Chain A
């Protein structure tokens, strides 16, 4: 990176501090909360579809044949621990500890997130091997409409982390990047909240009533 990062950016007028925040950070964070709550409603609708589809297996494999609670527990722990590590990264950033320790916790979170995704994909392939594919029944369509939707969110969270790491590597910890990271941390905690609903309702609820 050669010098001032704002020099090549026509949207930043000359003389401004590069990476300065132009809006009230509280308003930006609150706006992100509004997005997350709309995403929550979206998830809620897909949960509602899943609940109505429990038992609609059309003779295909159901929760009893398909669910692996060992893998489910490992995924739950990976995601929960990543929620802690992203929190530690937030604390490290807020109290202005070294950039290296901050990046360390972000990378740990990224690795835990990728581990979660790998286990989830392994689970889906195991289900498919037992005939549990989305087109088999209404129940499985609802399952694969909901659980991979959460996985897709986690994937985009991982992508977001990679982009932030690249930005920090290029231009350093500017204020605007700190604000982006705060939103990422909120998003990541939010995904763990959704996961509580998934293991309680989708896996346990499906297993008991399916």
Chain B
């Protein structure tokens, strides 16, 4: 398809995003069910697959790209992600540390 802004090209972008998302979702479910709860490092794999799917959907569904038209949104998303990580990881760090020092079972 030579025309990158045509109907078929737009449609194919959504379909590509969908197929990739389905594959990544299946991989995450398969990993958890196959590995089970005994090996906690499975969550690392689930996390990576989740981040990969976030990137896929941002690119193909929400059109957040490094191209000119998507760059303002990219800057906004990256800044919000920074704030989000500070809040979530900061909370988990502080409360986890507190739980260890208070000898509560986590």
Contact = CB atoms under 8 A, between A and B. Distances in A.
Interface string A25-59: 00000100110010011001101110110110000
A197 interface: yes
Nearest to B57: A193
A37 B73 CA distance: 10
Given A204-B46, A208-B43, A80 B92 contact: no
B88 interface: yes
A57 to B, nearest CB: 11
Interface stretch (A6-14, A88-96, A126-134, A153-161): A88-96
A30 B96 CA distance: 37
Contact of B11 (A40, A88, A192, A193): A88
Given A83-B57, A83-B61, A208-B37, A41 B83 contact: yes
Main secondary structure of the interface of B (DSSP, over half): helix
Contacts of A196: 50, 53-54, 57
A171 interface: no
Contacts of A55: 105-106
Interface string A172-210: 000000000000001001101100110110001101110
Contacts of B96: 52
A77 interface: yes
Contact of A34 (B37, B42, B76, B91): B76
Interface residues of B, number: 45
Contacts of B88: 44, 47-48, 51
A208 B40 contact: yes
A81 B15 CA distance: 10
A52 B14 contact: no
B80 A91 contact: no
A114 to B, nearest CB: 20
A113 interface: no
Contacts of B54: 193, 196
A88 B14 CA distance: 7
B77 to A, nearest CB: 7
Nearest to B69: A26
Contact of A208 (B42, B87, B105): B42
Given A55-B105, A192-B57, A196-B53, A80 B18 contact: yes
B76 A44 contact: no
Contacts of A52: 91-92, 95-96
Interface of B: 6-7, 10-11, 14-15, 17-18, 21-22, 25, 28-29, 32-33, 37, 40, 42-43, 46-47, 49-50, 53-54, 57-58, 61-62, 72-73, 76-77, 79-80, 83-84, 87-88, 91-92, 95-96, 105-106
Which 6 interchain pairs have the tightest Cβ spacing?
A48-B91, A87-B14, A37-B80, A200-B50, A52-B95, A95-B7
